[in-house]
């Protein structure tokens, strides 16, 4: 396979997995590790990847992956995380769901629940729950982010603060090594912070690629969460911090 064909596929694997390793890529493409190292160096020089020991990761930056691409990435992991999260939500509960494709998966997983109240600043969550007769949906209003249907700004935050609900179920774009939840849009962050403030129990749903990503805006610390649901074990440092903070970590079982 030529370099022109390998490079796009390497980038796609990096987006799907968060990290690519030299030996794995060499086996995948049936080329030498030296060839893969050259590929990764060229992609890093072009600003498309960051080199790390033994491989490469998606570059740190200030812009998120496009919404349509995020929708199709890690679908099975998000579905497993969502199913695990839904088991923590009893019938008759009230909850916030924020912006994100994983929280949209949670909305789908709640289809059999009864007597729910869902407040959301995510138009796609509202669309997922459309027609659910036993679920009352409140959409916050606010400034519409056309790229992904997110609602942010003072109107969204004011609507959120009118409620005190049982659960805040949120996603994020990245998890820092010190336990901070990160995102790309400061207006989205402020809405998520309001959601966390107005909930009795706080749950983060995040797939394993968030462990390798970086984003510039801080939402909160895992210290302030009750439960983290992921599809793979947290890095050792984060796992230790969660034990110190009494933040429960649950691993969702993905289909094999």
Among the candidates 26, 57, 88, a domain finishes at 57
Instruction: Look up the CATH number of the domain holding residue 171.
Output: 3.40.50.1360
Residue 200, classed as helix, strand or coil, is strand
- Same domain flag for 93 and 159: yes
Q: Which two tokens stand for residue 18?
A: 């968060």
Q: Tell me how many domains the chain contains.
A: 2
pLDDT digit string, tens, across residues 168-219: 999 999 999 999 999 988 999 999 999 999 999 999 999 988 887 788 899 9
pLDDT digit string, tens, across residues 114-159: 999 999 999 999 999 998 989 999 999 999 998 889 999 999 999 9
- Same domain flag for 106 and 228: yes
Task: Give the torsion sign (CA, 47, 50, 51, 54).
Answer: negative
Q: Which domain holds residue 47?
A: 3-57
- What does the pLDDT average to over 30-46? 92
| % of the chain exceeding 90 in pLDDT | 72
Predicted TM-score of the model (pTM) = 0.78
DSSP string for residues in 64-99: PPPHHHHHHTTHHHHHHHHHHHHTTS-TT-EEEE-S
- Same domain flag for 115 and 200: yes
- Same domain flag for 197 and 103: yes
- Same domain flag for 197 and 139: yes
- Same domain flag for 108 and 40: no
Question: What CA–CA distance (Å, rounded) separates 63 from 118?
Answer: 29
pLDDT at 66: 56
- Same domain flag for 116 and 51: no
Question: Phi first, then psi: what are they for 210, rounded to 5°?
Answer: -65, -20
In a domain? residue 62: no
Instruction: Look up the CATH number of the domain holding residue 46.
Output: 1.10.10.10
- Same domain flag for 119 and 29: no
- Same domain flag for 117 and 226: yes
Q: Which two tokens stand for residue 252?
A: 């969702």
Could you say which DSSP state residue 210 is in?
G
pLDDT digit string, tens, across residues 153-175: 999 999 999 999 999 999 999 99
């Amino acid at each position: 396979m030529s370099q022109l064909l390998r490079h796009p596929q390497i980038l796609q694997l990096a987006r799907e997995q968060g990290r690519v390793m030299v030996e794995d890529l060499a086996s995948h493409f049936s080329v030498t590790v030296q060839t893969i190292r050259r590929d990764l160096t060229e992609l890093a020089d072009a600003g498309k990847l960051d080199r790390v020991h033994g491989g490469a990761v998606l570059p740190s930056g200030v812009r998120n992956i496009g919404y349509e691409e995020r929708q199709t990435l890690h679908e099975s992991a998000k579905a497993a995380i969502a199913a695990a999260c839904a088991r923590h939500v009893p019938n008759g509960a009230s909850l916030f769901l924020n912006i994100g494709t994983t929280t949209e998966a949670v909305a789908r997983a709640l289809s059999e629940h009864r007597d729910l109240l869902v407040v959301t600043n995510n138009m796609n969550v509202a669309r997922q729950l459309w027609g659910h007769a036993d679920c009352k949906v409140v959409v916050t209003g606010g400034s519409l982010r056309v790229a992904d249907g997110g609602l942010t700004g003072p109107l969204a935050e004011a609507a959120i603060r009118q409620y005190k609900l049982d659960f805040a179920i949120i996603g994020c774009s990245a998890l820092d090594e010190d336990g901070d939840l990160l995102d790309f849009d400061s207006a989205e962050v402020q809405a998520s912070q309001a959601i966390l403030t107005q909930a009795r129990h706080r749950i983060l749903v995040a797939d394993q690629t968030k462990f390798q990503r970086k984003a510039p805006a801080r939402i909160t610390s895992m210290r302030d969460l009750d439960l983290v649901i992921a599809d793979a074990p947290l890095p050792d440092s984060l796992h230790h911090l969660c034990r110190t903070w009494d933040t429960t970590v649950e691993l969702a079982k993905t289909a094999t």
